[in-house]
Amino acid sequence: MSSIVDKPEDYFRKLIPPRDDLMIKLEAEAEKENIPIVGPVVGELLYILAAATKAKRILELGTATGYSAIYLARACEAADGIVVTLENDSEMAARAQQNFRQAGVSDRIEVHVASALEVLPQLQESFDFIFLDIEKQDYVKVLPDCRRLLVKGGLLVADNVGFKDADEFNRTISQHSGWRSISLFSFLPLHSPENDALCLALRC
Ligand SMILES: C[S@@+](CC[C@H](N)C(=O)[O-])C[C@H]1O[C@@H](n2cnc3c(N)ncnc32)[C@H](O)[C@@H]1O
pLDDT digits (tens, 9 = 90+) for 115-133: 999 999 999 999 999 999 9
Q: Residue 199, CB half-sphere, CA atoms under 13 Å: how many?
A: 29
- Per-residue pLDDT of 154-198, as tens digits, reads 999 999 999 999 999 999 999 999 999 999 999 999 998 999 999
Ligand 1: nearest atom to the Cα of 131: 6
Helices (H), 61-186: 67-75, 90-103, 116-119, 139-149, 167-175
Strands of 179-187's sheet in order across? 109-113, 82-87, 57-61, 127-132, 150-158, 195-203, 179-187
CA 134 – ligand 1 centroid, Å: 4
Query: Which mutation among 63, 117, 138, 190 tests ligand 1's pocket best, with the greatest number of atoms within 8 A of CB?
Result: 63
Report the predicted TM-score, pTM, of the whole model to 2 decimal places: 0.98
Hey, is 34 helix, strand or coil?
coil
Q: Is 30 in the pocket of ligand 1 (CB under 6 A)?
A: no
What are the helix and strand counts (H, E) for the chain? Answer: 8, 7
Q: What is the pLDDT of residue 1?
A: 81
Q: Which residue lies with its CA nearest to atom 8 of ligand 1?
A: 37
Answer yes or no: is pLDDT of 3 > 90: yes
Tell me what pLDDT residue 20 has: 98
